[in-house]
């Protein structure tokens, strides 16, 4: 049976590495996107590295053309890559705003646009966008990040309506604070303050994200589309 091809963006980061290890199974061929740092998992018959600067739409197009030429297309897209440029709204630079939007919102749009024709032709596809609880609640100093991740939720809902009749589901995960990923850049004293504000009293495990994604990829979850699934330890519900 032909292996389903999964493209994971930001595969060398904390959450990207966790997703990679989780889905390193015989039934999948992993297409691991990176920019500066190679993914931890080396290339093999089931793993291919794909380099592109997601701030540059031309590089995205090049990468996707190479993937299409070599593999025919992508069956599953996980838009995991993200950056955060902290700063009060009246202080953040235009460059920081533009780069955050480029990676967190524009890139998922361009990537989705590239994979949709193949998915439609096969009447199957899964697009999973990694958003954030900050998109739902806002947070001081996160104007660019919150806006980009909120835009990703809007993109998710629109694509889901456009693609449902083609057997393609599009969902978003709104993540709270986890043991891996961007939390590594937060000082320990601030991490302690964050944990105090989480009703569950702890950071989340990457396994929670991976298991949720695994379910969304299943045939049983094919009727679930256009949803924002909150994984945040009780920080926010909607």
Annotated catalytic, 145?
Answer: yes
In the chain, what is the straight-line distance between the N-terminal and C-terminal CA atoms, in Å?
40
* Structural element, H or E, at residue 129: strand 125-132
Distance of alpha carbon 85 from alpha carbon 67, whole angstroms:
30
Token pair in block for residue 189: 């004293």
Helices 206-217 and 14-22: crossing angle in degrees, nearest 10, is: 50
Catalytic residue among 28, 145, 177, 223: 145
Distance of alpha carbon 24 from alpha carbon 46, whole angstroms:
8
Distance of alpha carbon 158 from alpha carbon 37, whole angstroms:
33
Contact 6, 32 (CB under 8 A): no
Query: Which contacts of 216-223 are long-range, i.e. CB under 8 A and separated by 24 or more positions?
Result: 216/126, 216/128, 216/169, 216/171, 217/76, 217/126, 221/169, 222/167, 222/169
Distance of alpha carbon 15 from alpha carbon 216, whole angstroms:
17
Torsion (CA) 214, 219, 225, 229 in degrees, nearest 10: -30
Positions marked catalytic: 145
């Amino acid at each position: 049976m032909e292996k389903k091809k999964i493209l994971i963006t930001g595969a060398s980061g904390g959450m990207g590495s966790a997703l990679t290890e989780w889905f390193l199974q015989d039934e999948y061929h992993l297409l691991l996107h990176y920019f500066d740092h190679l993914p931890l998992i080396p290339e093999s018959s089931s793993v291919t590295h794909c380099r592109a600067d997601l701030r540059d739409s031309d590089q995205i197009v090049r990468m996707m053309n190479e993937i299409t030429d070599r593999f025919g297309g992508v069956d599953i897209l996980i838009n995991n890559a993200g950056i955060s440029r902290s700063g009060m709204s009246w202080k953040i630079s235009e460059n920081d705003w533009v780069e955050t939007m480029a990676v967190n919102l524009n890139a998922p749009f361009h990537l989705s646009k590239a994979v949709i024709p193949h998915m439609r032709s096969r009447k199957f596809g899964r697009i999973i966008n990694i958003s954030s609880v900050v998109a739902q609640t806002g947070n001081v100093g996160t104007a660019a990040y919150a806006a980009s991740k909120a835009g990703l939720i809007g993109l998710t809902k629109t694509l889901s309506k456009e693609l449902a009749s083609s057997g393609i589901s599009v969902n978003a995960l709104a993540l709270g604070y986890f043991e891996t990923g961007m939390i590594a850049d937060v000082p320990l004293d601030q991490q302690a303050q964050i944990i105090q504000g989480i009703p569950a009293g702890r950071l989340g495990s990457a396994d929670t994200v991976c298991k949720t994604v695994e379910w969304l990829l299943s045939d049983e979850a094919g009727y679930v589309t256009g949803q924002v699934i909150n994984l945040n330890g009780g920080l926010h519900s909607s």
